[in-house]
Amino acid sequence: MTDPRSRLDALRADTLGRIATLRAELDDVIGSASSTTGDDEHDPEGATIGFERAQAQALLDAAQTQLVAIEAALDRVDAGTYGVCVVCGRPIGEERLQARPAADRCIACAS
């Protein structure tokens, strides 16, 4: 397995980049909304500006939640408890950590 800190640091950098991109997208959508007539419900181009804004906000919220989980995992690395379930105290399976590096629960406790 790759060093957990290296994997988490790379994942954190990717997530920060995604957050920056999503914030820019959200700003663009908000900017577009202020420059339109306000009647986006009848837009023949497809999705409404309100929908695009909600979608961009949801993606941004998910990325920010992921960043919190990554930072918590980095704290567990520093504390020497990374890979240990926070609920039952048993080891988190290697395959789970490969799939979800910020996981803080084993499969049994996550269900």
For residue 31, what pLDDT is reported? Answer: 86
For residue 41, what pLDDT is reported? Answer: 55
Tracing tokens 């799939």 back to the chain, one arrives at: 99
Whether pTM exceeds 0.85: no
User: How far apart, in whole angstroms, are the C-alpha atoms of residue 68 and residue 71?
Assistant: 5
Decide: helix, strand or coil at residue 84: strand
For residue 88, what pLDDT is reported? Answer: 97
For residue 32, what pLDDT is reported? Answer: 79
State the amino acid at position 75 in one-letter form. Answer: D
Tens of pLDDT, residue by residue, the chain (111 residues)? 579 999 999 999 999 999 999 999 999 988 877 765 555 555 555 568 888 899 999 999 999 999 999 999 999 999 999 999 999 999 999 999 999 999 999 999 999
Q: Are 76 and 39 in contact (CB under 8 A)?
A: no
Domain boundaries, the chain: 4-82
Helix pair 4-34, 49-79: axis angle to 10 deg: 160
